[in-house]
Amino acid sequence: MALLELEEVRAGYGPTSVLHGVSLSVPEGQIVSLLGANGAGKTTTLRSITGGVQWTGDIRFAGRSLRRMHTEDVVRCGIAHVPEGRGILTELTVDENLKLGSHLRRDGAAVRKDYDRVFEYFPVLRERRRLSASTLSGGEQQMLALARAFLTKPRLMLLDEPSLGLAPLIVRSIFEIIRTINTEDQVAVLLVEQNARLALEMSSEAYVLEVGRVAVRGSSSELTGNDAVRRSYLGY
């Protein structure tokens, strides 16, 4: 059974409807990518999952419907959402941001171990622990957001364009880290990405959205192999 399932989800902002029936599923422990042009509704899809917008249809996580659940309760089920814009709490320090990631966990020893891992992945965060998060550069903020999401010990991570604004070297290492988290901790990932090539490399399966509908769905290798799809949707 899939960990996350969306069934005919429709959503929008006020009078504007953005998603016109999106169905997709993320199997346990897998990375699934969600691609599409600007404005296709990728972000909106992620927001629907964590209750950031009103939606109809059905969304199930681990067999349980998320209908009418508040964002915080969805998150407490084990979904970590790194939103577009990263959601850094700029009034707080880097350390406090990280603490907010782990604040719901009761497994103290494991938390400490996870902190060590996080600082191993992103050494710069250790250096900046006491500084206000508002001073971090774009890439550093992205690292903080990922680290924080990891510290919530999720079963599923929703990542909205994690490579946005990152230097090539960092992009690669971040994707590496995502893959490590995925394989070592069995965290499933729904990855929204503009860099289709990288995303397809990472994921086992992919969906392409077009104006709020799923236009193409298939295994990543299939899509990479399909020139027509590549050219018309993925742009490379």
Ligand X SMILES: Nc1ncnc2c1ncn2[C@@H]1O[C@H](COP(=O)(O)OP(=O)(O)OP(=O)(O)O)[C@@H](O)[C@H]1O
Using rule CB under 5 A, residue 141 touches Mg ion: no
Query: Smallest distance from the beta carbon of 166 to ligand X, in angstroms?
Result: 7
Return the structure tokens found at 98.
Answer: 């990280």
Residue 43 binds Mg ion, judged by CB under 5 A: yes
Binding region for another protein (CB under 8 A) out of 12-20, 26-34, 58-66, 179-187: 12-20
Tokens of 101: 């990631």
Residue 41 contact, options Mg ion, another protein, ligand X, none, Cβ 5-8 Å cut-off depending on partner type: ligand X
What letter represents residue 22's amino acid? V
Please identify, using beta-carbon distances, which residue of 163 and 220 lies nearer to ligand X: 163
With beta carbons less than 8 A apart as the criterion, state whether 98 and 106 touch. no
CB 159 within 8 A of CB 130: no
Q: Tell me which of 8, 39, 104, 172 binds ligand X, using CB under 6 A.
A: 39
Min CB(212)–ligand X separation in Å: 7
DSSP calls for 35-81: EE-TTSSHHHHHHHHTTSS-EEEEEEETTEE-TT--HHHHHHTTEEE
Largest interatomic CA distance in the chain: 51
Residue span binding another protein (CB under 8 A) among the ranges 15-23, 24-32, 53-61, 179-187: 15-23
Q: Using alpha carbons, list the distances in angstroms from residue 86 to 40, 130, 183, 236.
A: 19, 19, 23, 27
Instruction: Measure the CA–CA gap between 175 and 65, rounded to whole angstroms.
Output: 30
Cβ contact 4:25 at 8 Å:
yes
Q: In the numeric block, which tokens belong to residue 108?
A: 């103290």
Subset of residues 95 to 134 that bind ligand X, contact rule: CB under 6 A: none
Restricted to residues 44-63, the positions that interact with another protein (CB under 8 A) are: 50, 52
Please report, as ranges, the residues that interact with another protein according to CB under 8 A.
Answer: 13-18, 36-39, 50, 52, 70-72, 75-76, 81, 83, 85, 87-92, 96, 99-101, 103-104, 124, 131-132, 134-140, 142, 148, 152, 161, 164-172, 194, 196, 234-236
Contact footprint for ligand X (CB under 6 A):
13, 16, 18, 36, 38-44, 84, 135-139, 165
